[in-house]
Structure 1
Amino acid sequence: MSEQLHKKTVSQINTLDEIADNVAIKSDDEINRLIEETEETLTALMDELKSRQANKMHNAIDNLDAHMTEADSSFKALRSFVNMALQELRKKDS
C-alpha cells in the first residue's frame, strides 16, 4: 500500500513539475485563463460533492421509517422475551 502511495505521490509531483514548466512559458493572459478554468472546475467538483452528500442524507431520511419499524419490531420481541423470562422466574420463586 505504501509503495502505491509513493508512486502516486511521485506521479503527482512530476505532474506539478510539468504544469510549472508549462506555466513558465505561457503569457499572463493564458495563466489567468488557466486559473479561471481551474476555479470553475473546483467549483463544479465541490457542487457535485455537496449534491452527492445531500442525496445520501435524503436517502438515509427516506429509509428512516423502515429502520424505525424494524427497531420497533425488535423492541417488541425483546419486551415479550423479558416478560416471559420474568414470568418464569416468578413461577420458580413461588
Structure 2
Amino acid sequence: MSERQQEIRKERKADQLVALTGTLAACEKTAQRIQDFLDEVKASGIKPPVEVYKLLEEEMDTLKSLAKEFEADIEKMKNAESGDR
C-alpha cells in the first residue's frame, strides 16, 4: 500500500473515531435529558400514564446500551490504531 493510501486510511479512521465519539456523547446526553425530565415530572407531582413512563425508561435503557457498544467500538478502534503504528 502506498504512503498516500496509508495516510488516507488513517484520516478515514480518525474521522470515524470522531464521529463515533460524537454519537456516543449524543446518546449519553439524550439519556441524561430523559432522566432529568423524569425526575422533574416526579418532583412536580405530575403522574404521567405508566405507558409513557415505561416507554421513556426503555428509550433511556436503549441509549445506555448503545453508548456501551459505542464505547467498546471506540476502544477497539483506538487499540487497532495503536497497533498500526
CA radius of gyration, larger in: 1
Q: Give TM-score, length-normalised by structure 1.
A: 0.44
Greater relative contact order, per chain length (Cα 8 Å cut-off, separation 6+): 2
